[in-house]
Structure 1
Amino acid sequence: MVNISKLKCVLRGTLSWPARHLLHTKIQMENWFQNLSVVRKAYAVLPGWELGMVATISVAHLTFQINLWFLVAVSRKHKPMSNGLGALWEGDCIAIDWTNKVIHGVINALSTLLIAQSNFCMQLLVSPTRKDIDNAHKRRQWVDIGIPSFRNVWNEIIDLKRMALWVLLALGSVPLHLLWNSVFIFSPIAYEYLQLTVTEGFVHNMPMSASDGMIQLEGSSEGVGALWPDNLHILQENLYSYERLEINDCKKKYAQHFILDRSDVVVVTKSASTETNTSTVMGGSSAGWGLWPYRWLCPADSRHKLACAGKLLDGGDDWIFPRYGGPKVAYCLSKTMPKKCRLEYARLAAAFTVAANGLKLACFIATYWLLKGKAGGVVGYPNGDCRMQPLITTGDAIASFLEFEDEETQGMSIVEKKDFENGIWDHRWVSINPMIWLERSKCCRFRAIGVRRWLTGTALLSVIPLCPFIFLLTKIQWLREDLGLDKRAISELGLGNPSGLFLIGTWNGNLQTDDSMSINNQKTEANILLSIALANTPQLILSIAFYIWYSHLTVMTAARDYSEFAAPALESEGRDYAPKHGLRVTYPRDGSQQRAAFLFGISFKHWILITILWTALHWFASQAIFFARVDLLSHWLEVTDFSISQVGYSVLGIICFLGVAFLVFLVGLRISVKNISNHMPLAATCSAALSAACHSRNPEVKHHEKRVHWGVEILGEDDSQDGVQGVERCCFTSGTARYPTPGQLYA
């Protein structure tokens, strides 16, 4: 463990008070956590990565059991319909909506946990062993250490078994992203309705002409010539059961895309004279379906515009009916209906989720036994031969190279990652020449990744806000001019609410008329599964982008932490004030000053930041494009062909997603261009550069178990140099070291 009192003395000469205080606090917290009884016991039984893998297997097993038993139970008790959707519960919308939110919260939590554990497992699989690194270095190849690297897979650094498991884990995540979140579906029940415009006498059961007994409906979903389904005399007799709505309430209740708690409405107009002993039926229409479900409320100039609802509400209590000569409306009579919703499940999506869950569980178990079984049994190392243990952190790699030198990188102590990327190894087969140490200045963090890789990752990150921006740009004329979309209409449409106007691949016919409307809505099980997958495709893309960005952030964090090992120049008295750090490793040795790497990768601050941002991004993506499901019932309470079971999108959701995506891009850009001290050769996660910095001239000292720093190793005045008179060497050491001198040669 770190001796705090000694460290204070060491730091006093080199660091400012805030820096000393922060580092002191950080080390105290690490010591406190490492000394917790439960932590020590857990790591005593399952050291290093084994504890994480056992936790991963436990979570996957629990999730698999929940999903499997759910699928078996509901398949027996709630048989799905021909479209593959089964009704779990039908009842009060508020209760079902909250239940649906809780279920999706649990699913998102389990999904996030399972995918995070999957990424952890994939990082273990691509983490090279010392044997893998030695073989690669002999071929003049370097490997990534400490990150979930696709490069290690592509270059075949790892063996075929680990490669196969890595591919299976990656493929197993696809169904979880595309389907799991839509296994449970909230399905409201909406009503088509009939609208009738009458005079006051009709309400008071005054007689009407014989021709008014049946009335032709405008805009009926049954086609031209459709009549009112019941005799109007029957309707007249039943008006006592209808609820009276004042003008503003009537507008608000019916100026909606889907009506959930009402059906037929009778609009009562004010009589032009005091004569009320006769009934006049002015006309009727069918509504509540199609692109413009409340078009009967709107005047001709805004009948096919989204601004209609806003204009209606602005009119207050003064309502001139837009048809039949413009009579003035007195009030409405509305038929109330039970407000019901369903909680449904998608059988095929659930089946694929269970299969993917089972595949992940099998891969997790196989990974554990594969990595655990690789070691042979060398005393002093957990679970066997240290050369067969995966090097998960850069601290693991440095400790390994300090304990067992890598001859392939001798004499290259100031070479950095960029040099290996540029092929320095190709020119160093015969001789190794000393290199000049140049004055170093601060540099942007993205240099640790490599400019080309960083540009690729940044381009992918920029696509996330670019796609919704281009989508809105291509739709802007249609939205503004054809639909009359404005700020008020966007707000009224809401966030993530389904609308007949904003569905993908649904409507055929002329958008600006009521004629020839039909719906392309084949509700087969396969089509619904494809719609669910399409609606969740943004989630998959976001997860891929997150995987790449997380890898880049891990590299930048590793480069920043690595640079902190640099020793400062010695003062005139020869005293060394360089702060030394214990290496952060997976398996800390008993009695050593190594630190346990409980969290691999990035700082807690950055982890919190990107978790919040990416969670918001995923949620807004689900509100921007989603699987829309609404059962639309006819006058006879039968499900109509205008029910919705396909992909929908929300303009407000897309705008919100665009804003958050742009913020994520700016945050990613800001982190990338921040400076690091760059005091040391920029090794990042490059195995060759890390190895080159680990050639001590005093190898019998167990540097890897002590606190170390990097610089020119000082053994004494008479110590020999490295084959060339006057040439010194830079390396990690637990002894005395100073910062290299610009312009001087180092081997």
Structure 2
Amino acid sequence: MASKAVANQNNSLEGQNLADTSGGTKRANWQVSLIGGACACIIVLIINLGITIWSSVSLKANENGEDYEPGQRSSRRIMYEGSCSASRTLSVVIHLIINIFGSILLAASNHGMQCLSTPTRGDVQKAHAHKQWMDIGILTFRNLRMVSRIRVALWLLLILSSVPLHLLFNSVVYSSLTKRRYDTFSVDEEFRLLRKTSGYEPLDDPTDKEIVEQMIAGSYGQLDNLTALQCIDEYAVASQTKRDDLLVIVDSFGSVIMTGFAAPGAAPAHHAGASYLNFPVKEMCRLNFDFQIAVVILAVNFIEAIVLVFIALRPSKEPLFVLGDAIESFLVSLDEKSGGNCLASARMVQTGHFDDLITWIQSVDAEVLQSPGEDGLSAFLCTEVHYTVLVLS
């Protein structure tokens, strides 16, 4: 008997050592993931810090804007100014990089929140002592009521730091354009200014005359001769960015006054321009960097990095990330508070009937053992039948 007891004790010690080794391996695995997330967060922080400093030192600020007093600097920095197509391409590339960085930060934050809300074996035993239960293997708010306050505070820091990443990160870089205001002038073949009435008549307007003369003289640049379709394509846009005033050369004729009724099939007379002259202007599309939003993103990125590093350096003892961890832990070291409840359903635990199953099983065992005319084997089979029915139900 003594040798058998020693053998059982040795087997127990070997099982305990194996469990400790396995638990250490699992702890190392999740710590490696957490450290990887913290390192990625730090790398993004360094990149954000470098870009923010570069924008403050090197980029041109928008001065004397509409919303600022003369001489006051705005938070907007001009990253690029020029062609609208190039600005759109740069915007797509930069926002793709921003979304990659944001996904890295949000994934690291989510993993950190999972680690903080995961119960340890000690948390589960405390919950069982108060006839409570905890969620294992899912990201849950319920466990926060039964974990330490420091873990709750860190969890709140992570979730609050994730909100600006969702709402503001893509707003750090944005596009703007300069919309051109243009006028249309009608002239005849001799470039005399005309006005439209029922036909075209000479117009004596000194201001418009001066503009047309300067356009013809090339004071604003070299004029482009467009066809009707080209003119429509260039000017039928929501925001004009690359064309200025338009000269429409038409055949002049006097005004015609007609009275009477329209005959069937009649339509208004249209007088098409012979040609369309205008001059292209330099596009002024901008790619802007908002310094204030970048500082906010930098601050929440720093907070997230500090929290993740703290969690990685001070890991929880024996965390139960998945059900397999809990099964292994309770097989190696039994929980006296929940003993005898292996067949309890989730509904029984959630409704507070934590000990009803033990009472029911004890009463069944007592009835079976006290039944006359049955031997031990039949009593055992009867008990097994009761257990089986309970499990299947």
**Normalising TM by the smaller chain, what interval?**
0.7 to 0.9
**Residue equivalent to 2:345:** 416
Q: CA deviation at 1:53?
A: 1.1
Q: Tell me if structure 2 keeps the 8 A contact 1:261–1:336.
A: yes
SS of residue in 2 equivalent to 1:87: strand
Greater RCO between the two (CA within 8 Å, min separation 6)? 2
1:108 to 99, 113, 116: 99
Give the Cα separation in 2 of the matches to 1:434 and 1:412.
Answer: 10
Give the equivalent residue in structure 1 for 2:129.
Answer: 138
Q: Secondary structure at the match of 1:149?
A: coil
Aligned amino acid, residue 726 of structure 1: C
Is 1:233 the equivalent of 2:213?
Answer: yes
Q: Which position in structure 2 is the counterpart of 1:117?
A: 108
* Equivalent of 2:229 in 248, 259, 266: 248
Q: 1:128 aligns with which of 113, 119, 125?
A: 119
Asked if structure 1 preserves the Cα contact closer than 8 Å seen for 2:165 and 2:297, the reply is yes
Aligned counterparts, 1:513-592, within 5 A: none
Residues 720 and 62 of structure 1, relative CA distance in 2, 3 Å threshold: farther
**Does the CA contact (< 8 Å) of 1:434 and 1:745 recur in 2?**
no
2:383 to 727, 735, 741: 727
Distance (whole Å) between structure 1 residues aligned to residue 137 and residue 125 of structure 2:
17
1:368 is matched with: 312
Distance 1:729 1:237 in 2: 107
2:248 paired residue number: 267
CA drift at 1:394: 1.6
TM-score by length of 2: 0.74
Unaligned runs of 5+ in 2: 1-23, 63-72, 195-200, 256-266, 363-375
For 1:213, the aligned partner's letter is: P
Where 2:170 maps in the other structure, the secondary structure is: helix
Q: Report the Cα offset of residue 432 of structure 1.
A: 2.5
Shift of 1:73: 1.8
1:319-468 superposed matches below 5 A = 327-371=271-315, 388-425=317-354, 428=355, 431-434=358-361
Instruction: For 1:101 and 1:422, locate their aligned partners in 2 and report how far apart those are by CA, in whole Å.
Output: 54
Contact preservation (8 Å) 2:82, 2:282: no
Q: Deviation of residue 185 (structure 1)?
A: 1.6
Describe the SS at the equivalent of 1:47: helix
8 A Cα contact 1:146 1:392, kept in partner: yes
Letter in structure 1 aligned against 2:212: L
Structure 2 CA distance for aligned equivalents of residues 406 and 45 of structure 1: 21
How far apart are the structure 2 equivalents of 1:393 and 1:745? 23
Task: Call closer, same or farther: CA 1:744–1:79 in 2, change over 3 Å.
Answer: closer
CA–CA separation in structure 1 for the residues paired with 2:107 and 2:129 = 34
Q: Given the alignment of the two structures, is residue 188 of structure 1 paired with residue 188 of structure 2, yes or no?
A: no
Deviations 1:61-81 (A, max 9, x none): 101101111111211122533
Give the whole-Å Cα distance in 1 for the aligned partners of 2:189 and 2:136. 83
Q: What is the identity, as a one-letter code, of the residue corresponding to 1:246?
A: T
Aligned to 1:214: 207
Note the C-alpha offset of 1:728. Answer: 3.6
In structure 2, the CA distance between the partners of 1:211 and 1:396, relative to structure 1 (3 Å rule), is: same
CA 416–199 in structure 1, closer or farther in 2 if over 3 Å, else same: farther
Conserved 8 A contact 2:193-2:202: no
CA distance in 2 between partners of 1:183 and 1:131 (Å): 44
Q: Give the superposition deviation at 1:362.
A: 0.6
CA distance in 2, matches of 1:746, 1:238: 94
Distance in structure 2 (CA, Å) of the matches to 1:58 and 1:729:
56
CA shift in 2, pair 1:133/1:46, >3 Å: closer
Aligned length: 330
Deviations 1:447-491 (A, max 9, x none): xxxxxxxxxxxxxxxxxxxxxxxxxxxxxxxxxxxxxxxxxxxxx
Deviations 1:114-160 (A, max 9, x none): 1011101100000000000110111121111111111112xx11100
Amino acid in the other structure paired with 2:162:
S
User: Deviation of residue 203 (structure 1)?
Assistant: 7.0
Match status 1:94 vs 2:85: yes
In structure 2, C-alpha distance between the alignment counterparts of 1:719 and 1:413, rounded to whole Å = 23
What is the percentage of aligned positions where both structures have the same residue? Answer: 28
**Counterpart of 1:727 in 2: which secondary structure?**
helix
The 1:57–1:744 alpha-carbon spacing in structure 2 relative to 1, beyond 3 Å, is closer
Aligned partners of 1:212 and 1:232 also within 8 Å: no
Q: Does the CA-based 8 Å contact 2:343-2:391 persist in structure 1?
A: no
- The DSSP-based 3-state class of the residue aligned with 2:136 is coil
Change (3 A) 1:720 1:355: farther
> Cα deviations across residues 38-86 of structure 1 (Å, max 9, x unaligned)?
xxxxx97982211101101110110110111111121112253344211
Whole-Å separation in 2 of the counterparts to 1:419 and 1:405: 21
Q: Distance in 1 between matches of 2:88 and 2:131?
A: 59
Query: How many Å separate the matches in 2 of 1:261 and 1:272?
Result: 33
Relative distance call for 1:132 and 1:335 in structure 2 (3 A) is: same
Counterpart Cα distance in 2 of 1:109 and 1:260: 32
Aligned residues of 1:169 and 1:360 also touching (Cα < 8 A)? yes
Identify if the C-alpha distance between structure 1 residues 209 and 203 changes in structure 2 by more than 3 Å, giving closer, same or farther: closer
Q: Which residue of 2 aligns with 1:164?
A: 153
After superposition, the C-alpha distances for 1:664-683 in whole angstroms (9 at most, x for unaligned) are xxxxxxxxxxxxxxxxxxxx
Partner Cα separation in structure 1 for residue 385 and residue 184 of structure 2: 91
Letter in 2 for 1:232: V
User: Which sections of structure 1, spanning at least 5 residues, go unmatched?
Assistant: 1-42, 216-227, 274-279, 281-319, 375-387, 436-717, 731-739
Amino acid in structure 2 at the alignment position of 1:212: D
State the shift of 1:746 in Å: 8.8
Check if 1:70 corresponds to 2:59.
no
Question: Is the radius of gyration larger for structure 1 or structure 2?
Answer: 2
Bigger share in helix? 2
Report if aligned partners of 1:136, 1:157 keep a CA contact under 8 Å in 2: yes
Aligned to 2:383, the other structure's residue is in SS state coil
On the 8 A contact 2:193/2:203 being kept in 1, the answer is no
CA deviation string 1:145-180 (max 9, x = no partner): 111111112xx1110011000000001111111211
Cα deviations by residue, 1:482-539 (Å, 9 ceiling, x for unpaired)? xxxxxxxxxxxxxxxxxxxxxxxxxxxxxxxxxxxxxxxxxxxxxxxxxxxxxxxxxx
1:147 matched to 2:76? The reply is no
Q: By how many angstroms is 1:337 displaced?
A: 1.0
What is the CA–CA distance in structure 2 between the aligned matches of 1:258 and 1:370, rounded to whole Å? 57
Kindly tell me: are residues 745 and 185 of structure 1, through their superposed partners in 2, closer, same or farther at Cα, counting changes over 3 Å? closer
The one-character-per-residue Cα deviations of 1:370-399 (angstroms, maximum 9, x if unpaired) are: 31xx5xxxxxxxxxxxxx221111211111
Alignment partners' CA distance in 2, 1:392 and 1:210: 85
Offset of residue 421 of structure 1: 2.7
AA paired with 1:64?
L
Letter in 2 for 1:180: F
Q: Is the CA contact (8 Å cut-off) linking 1:265 and 1:334 kept in structure 2?
A: yes
Summarize the Cα distance change of 1:198–1:420 in structure 2 as closer, same or farther, 3 Å threshold: farther
Shift of 1:269: 2.9
